[in-house]
Each structure stands twice: as C-alpha cells, then as structure tokens.
Amino acid sequence: MGEAQVQKAAWYQGLTVEQEKIWFEEQIRQCEKDITRFACHITGNMEKAKDIIQEAFLRAYKYRHSYNDKYPFRNWLYAILLNIHRHNCKKEKLIKTIIPWKNSDDEEQDTWDFIESEEEGPEARTLKKQLVVDIEKAIQKLPLKMREVIVLCDMVGYSYEEASEVVHCPLGTIRSRLHRARRQVQKELEIKYGEDLLTSWS
C-alpha cells in the first residue's frame, strides 16, 4: 500500500472569525504600501487607485477562504486588484488622467532615485525629473496588458515568474509584453529627448 498523501490544512482551519480578521488585517498591513503604489501606477489617478484598493480589500476579505497560502498573499491581492481594474477599464474604455506617483514616506527612496545625483547640476536634475514625468505618461499610453507587466517588473520590481503568477499568463508572454512595452516607452522618449541624451543617462 502506497504512502498516504498528507494535505496541508487551510490557513483558516482552527481559527475563529475574529482570529481570521486579525490575520487578514496583518497581511494587508504588510503589503498596503506596495499595493497602493501599484494601483497608482496602473490607474494613473490617485482617486481611482483608492477606489480599486478599497474594493480589492473588501473582495479579498469576502473571499479570504479561497486564498491558498502556498503563494504570497501580495500576489493574490495584486491579481484581485488587476481584475477589478480590467473590469473598470472595459466600462470606461480609456483612462485619460495621468499623475505621477509621489512617495509620501520620507524614509523610503523614490522609485526614480537615480534622479538625484550630487555630481550633476540643477539643470540636469530638472531634466531628469521631467524625464520621469514623461516616462510615466508614456506608460499610461500603453495597452493595459503591457502596462500591467511593465509596472510589475520595472516599478514594483517583480521577477518574470512573480509577474506571471499575478497576471496569470506564461513566462514567454510576460517577456514579450515587457519587451514591447519597454520599446514603446523608449520610442516615445527618443522623440522628445533624442537617443544620444537617453543613452548618456542610462
């Protein structure tokens, strides 16, 4: 007779409803900052980001028993948020509002911390700050599926494997979308700044 397969108990087994709530709130606390940044980059609008974050948290709590703790909670929440955003985009057809993400935590470096360099003068730093704005505008022009991948990989810092898990598509598709997204953003920037200037900043 073969060895019996032991299944891992679901994370919520043995917990009271109150204990589940405490567990859930702790998971949210640990990834709330990343989720907020991600939502802002995806929507390009702080108010819309707040709306889909709130809806994602409510939906996640409602369906918390469907979460498989074999995988990171953050990835599961990203996937919920993406589904909500995709649904909203289908209704709105196009997201037009563009605002750059600003980090409110002074102790944490900005996503674009390469801007500030003691070796450069104020004019160069001003140009680079404008470049950041133009990068985020270019990202907002991308098709939704390409925008999701470039935000996950280049802004959030996810690996191809992690992005694949969130977006629910093969690694090859992630690589292809990211390559096309980067190339499209690069073309937008080259039109304004020229290839030589961009190369000097890389």
Domain that holds residue 16: 12-99
CATH code, 181: 1.10.10.10
Q: What is the pLDDT of residue 199?
A: 58
- CA 57 to CA 179: how far, in whole Å? 31
Instruction: Kindly state whether residue 2 falls inside one of the protein's structural domains.
Output: no
| pLDDT, position 134 | 86
Answering whether pTM is above 0.85, one says no
Instruction: Read off the pLDDT of residues 164-198 as tens digits, 9 standing for 90 and up.
Output: 988 889 999 999 999 999 889 888 888 887 766 55
Q: Are 125 and 75 in the same domain?
A: no
Structural domain contains residue 78:
yes
| 105 occurs within a structural domain | no
Query: What does the block give as tokens for 18?
Result: 């109150």
Q: Which of 51, 78, 99 is the last residue of a domain?
A: 99
Tens-digit pLDDT profile for residues 33-74: 989 988 988 888 888 899 999 999 999 999 999 999 888 999
Q: With respect to residue 121, please indicate whether it lies within any of the assigned structural domains.
A: yes
> What's the structural domain count of the chain?
2
Do residue 122 and residue 81 come from a single domain? Answer: no
Instruction: Answer yes or no: is 6 within a domain.
Output: no
Q: Name the residue with higher pLDDT: 115 or 55.
A: 55
